[in-house]
């Protein structure tokens, strides 16, 4: 190829080649030959060198090459075959020219199957006809690339034309079908909304009320076709429905009736259309809760107080305070005391059940030794079993772990189970208490308390119903074995309060078997850290303290240190515009590997949308405006904790 050769590709594009050869002298010779060739022809040419395949792969990440010139043995323990495999695996498309000794020719020919376009012989440190081969390789490569691009464009154009034709052919039919479906959906939705007993209002993204159903018109007392604006709704309810957190119920009082309002975002194809407000009339429920609370108060004061007085008087009589007690008098007084105890247990059971159902029963978890609780119950019922001629036994193997639980509740559950077992086990029968454990893959596990008896047993069809409040198997059993039917219901709810279970099954040798399962960490309350102002801390702690272990720093300077040492699951902080203390603490929390993943909720008064957006962009999980309802606060906290609850 002479110096007057006409190139068949644009010389203005220039060219770039990669030489893969460890030997410096050979590599420099190759680079020089090719560079001189292109320099004479006034073509901008770049030739890079790599001393190994790994270096070459690194170069390929940064530059696009028109050709690679590769030695059959680029470096020690490397081969051109390795290079070709790696290049094709990474889907590089440039041509590869191999060079080497005469003896390597057979291997080089085989490598053509892997994509090598030619093989050149080394003459000393020089490679024969190398520049011409590079020139031809670049020409072939660019021609193939252009042909491929043209072919790809043609295929795409044909596909586009075909798709357009098909679309046009179906468009008219689809439009008619869509219109019919939309009209049908509109009529269905309108029918549903008009038939709903809940009040429904739709506010579009511009803040205009677009739809209000008949129930909402009745609730707001809107006459006929009178206009109803968002400002009217705000004035009548006292809240801004556009600020209500979606999914969180907000209590309302409207014309002496109680409602709970929920809000949900309405979107269509990713575009926010507005908000749907649903108001549920809970007046009757509120009245029932009030009646229930009044009944509980009446039970607590009007029944327990006289029962205490009756017990005290009967005990004084029995002690002979008013003179010698005859046997007949003693018999009557003991009967009075038994009935007082029975009525007191009934009153206590009703109150416990009411607290559990209202979720007002507070856990006081401590580290409890299961063997100790079982032994306490065992000793409590030894006398009753002995009097009735029942054999009472207990098995507690070694290695039972301690559990986080409310010791009083755990004892009450076991007392209820033993009381039932004694009641339904005949003379000569037996009762067994077995304490066991199950391990978990990630630690923790559970502890089980199994109470088995040789009593009358529970039919399989009733093994779930026995946990219903006031349930008795049948009238015959109720007459024979006196009871309120509250013990098992209370016991199961207390077990569930510990994230545990209480089940009933048949004992292996007849009778009943109740199994109480308590997770080792079941009642350990989740830690939430408060870094709020003094005026808010007491209120926040009162709300969260019912369900969480609330942590605080002893002083402002120890906030980060306390968070690092306690590792809470959530942090709640106050935000003030212009104050940088909270932001410094927040920044330190997010920069520490130990605390970076802990979600943070910011709370503040009069927060602007710009401030909320800024805090969220900085990594806050949520931003809440004060004041807010206790229900909304708890709901947002639980959402932030997610599956950690």
**Cβ count near 553 (within 10 Å):** 17
Q: Do 37 and 6 form a contact (C-beta atoms < 8 A)?
A: no
For residues 88 and 200, membership in a common domain is answered with: no
The last residue of a domain, from among 455, 484, 519: 519
CATH number for 57: 3.40.50.2300
Residue with more model confidence, 328 or 171: 328
Phi, psi of 278 (to 5 degrees): -120, 125
Number of domains in the chain: 5
Residue 9 pLDDT exceeds 50? no
- Has this prediction a pTM greater than 0.75? no
Tokens representing 593 are 């590997």
For residues 80 and 129, membership in a common domain is answered with: yes
Asked whether residue 235 is domain-assigned, the answer is yes
Question: What is 483-547 written as a DSSP string?
Answer: --S-HHHHHHHHHHHTT-EEEEEE-TTSSEEEEEEEETTTTPPPEEEEE--HHHHHHHHHHHTTT
Share of the chain above pLDDT 70, in %: 88
Residue with more model confidence, 322 or 504: 504
Region for 389 from its dihedrals, namely left if φ exceeds 0, alpha if ψ lies in -120 to 50, beta otherwise = left
Residue with more model confidence, 312 or 172: 312
pLDDT of residue 44: 80
pLDDT tier at 644, thresholds 50, 70, 90: low
Share of the chain above pLDDT 90, in %: 9
Give the residue-averaged pLDDT of 428-445.
Answer: 80
Least confident range from 292-306, 333-347, 362-376, 424-438: namely 292-306
CA distances from 346 to 475, 476, 500 (A): 19, 21, 25
Round to whole Å and give the CA distance between 412 and 351. Answer: 14
Residue 449 pLDDT exceeds 90? yes
Asked whether residue 5 is domain-assigned, the answer is no
Residue 577 pLDDT exceeds 60? no
Instruction: Give the tens place of pLDDT for each residue, 406-425.
Output: 888 899 899 989 988 998 88
Give the residue-averaged pLDDT of 107-119.
Answer: 80
Residue with more model confidence, 165 or 621: 621
Distance from the first to the final alpha carbon of the chain: 79
pLDDT of residue 501: 92
Asked whether residue 411 is domain-assigned, the answer is yes
What DSSP element (H or E) covers 212? strand 209-212
For residues 408 and 496, membership in a common domain is answered with: yes
**Sign of the four-CA dihedral 359, 365, 370, 374:** negative
For residues 247 and 342, membership in a common domain is answered with: no
Phi, psi of 518 (to 5 degrees): -125, 120
pLDDT tier at 8, thresholds 50, 70, 90: very low
Burial of 291 by CB count in 10 Å (0-12 exposed, 13-18 middle, 19+ buried)?
A: exposed
Residue with more model confidence, 640 or 525: 640
pLDDT tier at 378, thresholds 50, 70, 90: very high
Q: Do 514 and 507 form a contact (C-beta atoms < 8 A)?
A: no
Q: To the nearest whole number, what is the mean pLDDT of the chain?
A: 80
Burial of 80 by CB count in 10 Å (0-12 exposed, 13-18 middle, 19+ buried)?
A: buried
Structural domain span for residue 101 = 11-147
For residues 370 and 514, membership in a common domain is answered with: yes
Asked whether residue 188 is domain-assigned, the answer is no
For residues 51 and 141, membership in a common domain is answered with: yes
Q: Provide the 8-state DSSP code for 92.
A: -
For residues 327 and 452, membership in a common domain is answered with: no
Round to whole Å and give the CA distance between 20 and 461. Answer: 81
Instruction: Give the tens place of pLDDT for each residue, 262-286.
Output: 888 888 777 888 888 898 888 888 7
pLDDT of residue 522: 66
Q: What does the H/E/C string look like for 551-573?
A: ECCCCHHHHHHHHHHHCCCEEEE
pLDDT tier at 3, thresholds 50, 70, 90: very low
Q: Do 236 and 256 form a contact (C-beta atoms < 8 A)?
A: no
Give the residue-averaged pLDDT of 287-296.
Answer: 71
Residue 348 pLDDT exceeds 80? no
For residues 244 and 384, membership in a common domain is answered with: no
Asked whether residue 440 is domain-assigned, the answer is yes
Tokens representing 447 are 């502890």
For residues 37 and 95, membership in a common domain is answered with: yes
pLDDT of residue 246: 79
Give the residue-averaged pLDDT of 312-331.
Answer: 83
Q: Do 219 and 279 form a contact (C-beta atoms < 8 A)?
A: yes
Residue 265: strand pairing partners? 275
pLDDT of residue 444: 63
Peptide bond into 49 cis (omega under 30): no
Give the residue-averaged pLDDT of 66-82.
Answer: 86
Asked whether residue 174 is domain-assigned, the answer is no
Q: Do 140 and 133 form a contact (C-beta atoms < 8 A)?
A: no
The last residue of a domain, from among 496, 519, 542: 519
For residues 398 and 512, membership in a common domain is answered with: yes
Q: Do 279 and 260 form a contact (C-beta atoms < 8 A)?
A: yes
For residues 74 and 36, membership in a common domain is answered with: yes
Round to whole Å and give the CA distance between 484 and 486. Answer: 5
Round to whole Å and give the CA distance between 515 and 502. Answer: 6
Tokens representing 383 are 């006398």
Instruction: Give the tens place of pLDDT for each residue, 478-526.
Output: 445 555 677 888 889 888 888 889 999 988 877 899 999 998 876 666 7
Highest mean pLDDT: which range of 38-42, 434-438, 471-475, 626-630: 434-438
C-alpha of 520 from chain center: 22
Q: 271-281 and 199-204 as β-strands: parallel, antiparallel, unpaired?
A: antiparallel
Instruction: Give the tens place of pLDDT for each residue, 194-253.
Output: 778 888 888 888 888 888 888 888 888 888 778 888 888 888 877 777 777 777 778 888
CATH number for 219: 3.30.450.20
Determine the 3-state secondary structure of 17 from DSSP.
Answer: strand
pLDDT of residue 123: 67
Asked whether residue 548 is domain-assigned, the answer is yes
pLDDT of residue 125: 58
Give the residue-averaged pLDDT of 577-598.
Answer: 76
Phi, psi of 381 (to 5 degrees): -100, 5
pLDDT of residue 178: 79
Asked whether residue 378 is domain-assigned, the answer is yes
Determine the 3-state secondary structure of 228 from DSSP.
Answer: coil
C-alpha of 222 from chain center: 43
Residue with more model confidence, 436 or 102: 436
Residue 641: closest CA among 615, 616, 619, 621: 621
For residues 532 and 506, membership in a common domain is answered with: no
Residue with more model confidence, 74 or 547: 74
């Amino acid at each position: 190829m002479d110096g007057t050769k006409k190139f068949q590709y644009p010389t203005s594009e220039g060219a770039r080649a990669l030489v893969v050869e460890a030997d410096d002298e050979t590599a420099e010779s190759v680079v020089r030959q090719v560079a001189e060739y292109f320099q004479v022809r006034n073509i901008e040419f770049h030739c890079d060198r790599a001393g190994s395949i790994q270096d070459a792969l690194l170069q390929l990440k940064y530059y696009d090459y028109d050709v690679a010139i590769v030695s059959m043995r680029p470096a020690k323990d490397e081969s051109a075959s390795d290079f070709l495999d790696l290049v094709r695996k990474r889907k590089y498309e440039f041509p590869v020219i191999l060079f080497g000794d005469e003896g390597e020719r057979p291997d080089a020919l085989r490598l053509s199957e892997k994509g090598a376009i030619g093989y050149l012989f080394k003459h000393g440190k020089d490679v024969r006809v190398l520049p011409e081969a590079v020139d031809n390789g670049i020409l072939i490569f660019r021609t193939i690339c252009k042909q491929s691009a043209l072919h790809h464009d043609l295929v795409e154009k044909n596909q586009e034309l075909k798709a357009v034709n098909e679309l046009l052919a179906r468009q008219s039919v689809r439009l008619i079908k869509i219109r019919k479906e939309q009209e049908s959906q509109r009529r269905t939705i309108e029918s549903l909304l008009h038939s709903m007993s809940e009040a429904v209002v739709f506010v579009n993204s511009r803040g205009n009320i677009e739809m209000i159903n008949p129930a909402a018109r009745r609730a707001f007392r809107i006459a006929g076709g009178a206009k109803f604006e968002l400002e009217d709704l705000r004035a009548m309810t006292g809240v801004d429905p556009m600020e209500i957190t979606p999914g969180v119920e907000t209590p309302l009082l409207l014309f002496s009736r109680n409602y709970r309002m929920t809000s949900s975002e309405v979107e269509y194809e990713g575009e926010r259309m507005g908000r749907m407000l649903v108001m549920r009339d809970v007046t009757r429920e509120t009245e029932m809760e009030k009646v229930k609370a009044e009944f509980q108060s009446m039970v607590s004061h009007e029944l327990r107080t006289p029962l205490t007085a009756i017990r005290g008087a009967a005990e004084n009589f029995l002690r002979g305070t008013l003179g010698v007690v005859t046997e007949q008098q003693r018999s009557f007084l003991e009967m009075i005391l038994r009935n007082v105890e029975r009525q007191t247990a009934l009153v206590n059971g009703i109150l416990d059940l009411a607290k559990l159902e209202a979720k007002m029963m507070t856990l006081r978890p401590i580290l409890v030794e299961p063997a100790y609780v079982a032994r306490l119950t065992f000793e409590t019922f030894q006398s009753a079993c002995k009097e009735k001629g029942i054999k009472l036994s207990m098995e507690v193997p070694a290695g039972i772990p301690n559990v986080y639980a409310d010791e009083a509740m755990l004892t009450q559950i076991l007392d209820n189970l033993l009381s039932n077992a004694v009641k339904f086990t005949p003379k000569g029968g037996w009762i067994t208490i077995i304490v066991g454990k199950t391990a978990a893959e990630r630690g923790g596990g559970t502890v089980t308390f199994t109470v088995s008896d040789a009593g009358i047993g529970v039919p399989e069809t009733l093994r779930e119903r026995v946990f219903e409040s006031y349930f008795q198997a049948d009238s015959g059993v109720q007459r024979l074995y006196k009871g309120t039917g509250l013990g098992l219901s209370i016991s199961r709810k207390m077990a569930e309060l510990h994230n545990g279970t209480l089940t009933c099954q048949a004992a292996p040798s007849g009778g009943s078997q109740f199994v109480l399962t308590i997770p080792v960490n079941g009642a350990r309350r989740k830690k939430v850290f408060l870094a709020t102002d003094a005026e808010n801390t007491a209120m926040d702690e009162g709300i969260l303290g019912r369900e969480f272990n609330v942590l605080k720093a002893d002083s402002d300077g120890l906030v980060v240190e306390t968070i690092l040492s306690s590792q809470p699951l959530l942090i709640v902080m106050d935000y003030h515009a212009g104050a940088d203390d909270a932001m410094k603490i927040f920044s330190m929390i997010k920069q520490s590997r130990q605390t970076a993943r802990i979600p943070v909720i910011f709370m503040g008064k009069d927060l602007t949308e710009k401030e909320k957006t800024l805090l969220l962009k900085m990594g806050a999980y949520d931003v809440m405006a004060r004041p807010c309802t206790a229900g909304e606060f708890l709901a947002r906290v639980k959402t932030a904790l997610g599956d950690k609850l």
